[in-house]
């Protein structure tokens, strides 16, 4: 591996020139092109959208020094674009990333272990994961709240469970390892779904089925419904969550910000449900509900 790599920074690139410029540099030996993006966030769901800009900045990567006159030629091809070149020290990015990811306790008696490490507590319940680029590695407070509620919810044993928006499938695998009969894990994001399937296979969780359907497409009823999703989305999909929950069954909801608790309860109707437990960790809340009537 080379000691350094080279980045051509192209500024003030118009949308019409972006593809042409990328193609031009690939023809000159570039190995990758990335764009510096800006995002905006919406309070109602804590979702983000890309801010579209008229002029973009691209980073064009070379593992070997580009031709000396490359920028001169590029300037002639794209006179409105500003170019500069810089070098950066090369690293084994995967090894550096792995150094920062260690085993940790998910909840009482349950640990999450990176797939490349041996568990420190082999006598406890250990979930091995390869995080990849998916959400839900188990470090977030909402996942830990949901795990605690699942772990202490003994009715999950020998029952039918659905984990809505499974991410890396940690909660789905926890249910399997605690004895659930069947676990359906929904995930519409393709990359996350593939990581989830890999983790399920790694842990030999044969009762977990990862599907690409949304909750509104799932027609079965479940003894336990888990939704570790931001509160705005919980409100939006509440009818489908309730429909999928058997009478006498349980529901775990996490992702509720403490400061938005009153708004959540004003909009998430609990008719037919009883709150059995409320857990707070950091600024997040989680609920264990029982469906007493339809």
Residue 85 shares a structural domain with residue 133 = no
Q: How far apart are CA 89 and CA 87, in angstroms?
A: 7
Length of the chain (residues)? 294
- Please provide residue 25's backbone torsions phi and psi, each rounded to the nearest 5 degrees: -75, -30
Tell me whether residue 257 is in a domain. yes
Tokens linked to 54: 């008229």
Instruction: Answer yes or no: is pLDDT of 274 > 80.
Output: yes
Choose among 172, 194, 198: nearest CA to 185. 172
Tell me whether residue 122 is in a domain. no
Q: How confident is the model at residue 152 (pLDDT cuts 50, 70, 90)?
A: confident
Residue 217 shares a structural domain with residue 156 = yes
The residue that leads in pLDDT, 45 or 145, is 145
Last residue of a domain, which of 90, 113, 141? 90
Q: What is the structure's pLDDT at 49?
A: 55
Residue 139 shares a structural domain with residue 262 = yes
Tokens linked to 36: 């510096």
Residue 140 shares a structural domain with residue 240 = yes
Rg (CA), the chain: 24
Choose among 256, 210, 250: nearest CA to 231. 256
CA distances from 204 to 185, 187, 208, 270 (A): 15, 19, 9, 36
Tell me whether residue 100 is in a domain. no
Q: Find the CATH number of the domain harbouring 58.
A: 3.30.70.120
Q: What is the structure's pLDDT at 31?
A: 83
Last residue of a domain, which of 35, 64, 90? 90
pLDDT in tens, 206-253: 999 999 999 999 999 999 999 999 899 999 999 999 999 999 999 999
Tell me whether residue 103 is in a domain. no
Secondary structure in 3-state letters for the chain = CCCEEEEEEEEEEEHHHHHHHHHHHHHCCCCEEEECCCEEEECCCCEEEECCCCEEEEEEEECCCCCCCHHHHHHHHCCCCEEEEEEEECCCHHHHHHHCCCCEEEECCEEEEECCCCCCCCCCEEEEECCCCCCCCCCCHHHHHHHHHHHCCHHHCCCEEEEECCCCCHHHHHHHHCCCCEEEEECCCHHHHHHHHHHHHHCCCCCEEEECCCHHHCCCCEEEEEEECCHHHHHHCHHHHHHCEEEEEEEEEEEEEHHHHHHHHHHCCCCCEEEEEEEEECCEEEEEEEECCC
pLDDT in tens, 177-195: 999 999 999 998 887 888 8
- The count of domains in the chain is 2
Q: What is the structure's pLDDT at 96?
A: 56
Q: How far apart are CA 168 and CA 34, in angstroms?
A: 26
pLDDT in tens, 28-65: 988 888 876 665 545 554 444 556 678 889 989 888 88
Residue 56 shares a structural domain with residue 138 = no
Tell me whether residue 213 is in a domain. yes
Q: What is the structure's pLDDT at 101?
A: 74
The residue that leads in pLDDT, 20 or 130, is 20
Q: What is the structure's pLDDT at 71?
A: 93
Tokens linked to 202: 């790694």
Tell me whether residue 117 is in a domain. no
Last residue of a domain, which of 60, 90, 120? 90
Residue 34 shares a structural domain with residue 180 = no
Strand ranges across the sheet with 125-129: 104-107, 110-114, 125-129
Q: How confident is the model at residue 17 (pLDDT cuts 50, 70, 90)?
A: confident
Residue 188 shares a structural domain with residue 283 = yes
Residue 163 shares a structural domain with residue 283 = yes
Residue 176 shares a structural domain with residue 35 = no
Instruction: Answer yes or no: is pLDDT of 285 > 90.
Output: yes
Q: Find the CATH number of the domain harbouring 216.
A: 3.40.50.150
Contact between residue 58 and residue 82 where contact means Cβ atoms under 8 Å apart: no
83: Cβ–Cβ under 8 A, 6 or more apart, which residues?
8, 9, 10, 11, 71, 74, 75
pLDDT in tens, 250-265: 999 999 999 999 999 9
Q: What is the structure's pLDDT at 108?
A: 86
Q: Is 256 exposed, middle or buried (0-12, 13-18, 19+ CB in 10 A)?
A: buried
Q: What is the structure's pLDDT at 19?
A: 83
Residue 52 shares a structural domain with residue 148 = no
Residue 195 shares a structural domain with residue 82 = no
Range of the domain at 275: 129-291
Share of the chain above pLDDT 90, in %: 57
Q: To the nearest whole number, what is the mean pLDDT of the chain?
A: 87
Tell me whether residue 119 is in a domain. no
Residue 137 shares a structural domain with residue 274 = yes
């Amino acid at each position: 591996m080379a000691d350094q790599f080279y980045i051509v920074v192209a500024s003030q690139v118009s949308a019409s020139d972006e593809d042409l410029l990328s193609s031009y540099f690939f023809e000159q030996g570039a190995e990758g092109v990335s764009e510096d993006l800006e995002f905006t966030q919406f309070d109602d769901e804590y979702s983000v959208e890309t801010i579209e800009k008229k002029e973009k900045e691209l980073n064009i990567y070379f593992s070997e020094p580009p031709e000396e006159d490359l920028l001169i030629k590029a300037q002639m091809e794209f006179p409105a674009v500003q170019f500069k070149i810089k070098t950066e020290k090369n690293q084994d990015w995967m090894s550096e990333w792995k150094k920062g990811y260690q085993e940790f306790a998910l909840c009482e008696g349950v640990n999450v272990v990176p797939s490349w490490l041996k568990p420190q507590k082999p006598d406890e319940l250990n979930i091995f994961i390869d995080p990849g680029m998916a959400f839900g590695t188990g470090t977030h407070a909402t996942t830990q709240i949901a795990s605690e509620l699942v772990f202490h919810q003994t009715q999950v044993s020998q029952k039918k469970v659905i984990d809505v928006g499974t991410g890396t499938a940690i909660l789905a695998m926890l249910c399997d390892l605690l004895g659930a009969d069947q676990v359906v894990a929904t995930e519409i994001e393709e990359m996350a779904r593939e990581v989830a399937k890999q983790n399920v296979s790694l842990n030999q969780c044969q009762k977990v089925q990862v599907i690409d359907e949304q909750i509104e497409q799932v027609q079965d009823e479940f003894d336990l419904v888990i939704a570790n999703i931001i509160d705005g989305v919980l409100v939006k999909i509440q009818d489908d969550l309730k429909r999928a929950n058997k009478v006498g069954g349980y529901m775990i909801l996490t992702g509720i910000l403490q400061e938005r608790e009153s708004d959540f309860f004003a909009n998430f109707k609990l008719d037919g449900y009883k709150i059995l437990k409320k857990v707070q960790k950091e600024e997040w809340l989680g609920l264990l509900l029982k469906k007493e009537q339809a």
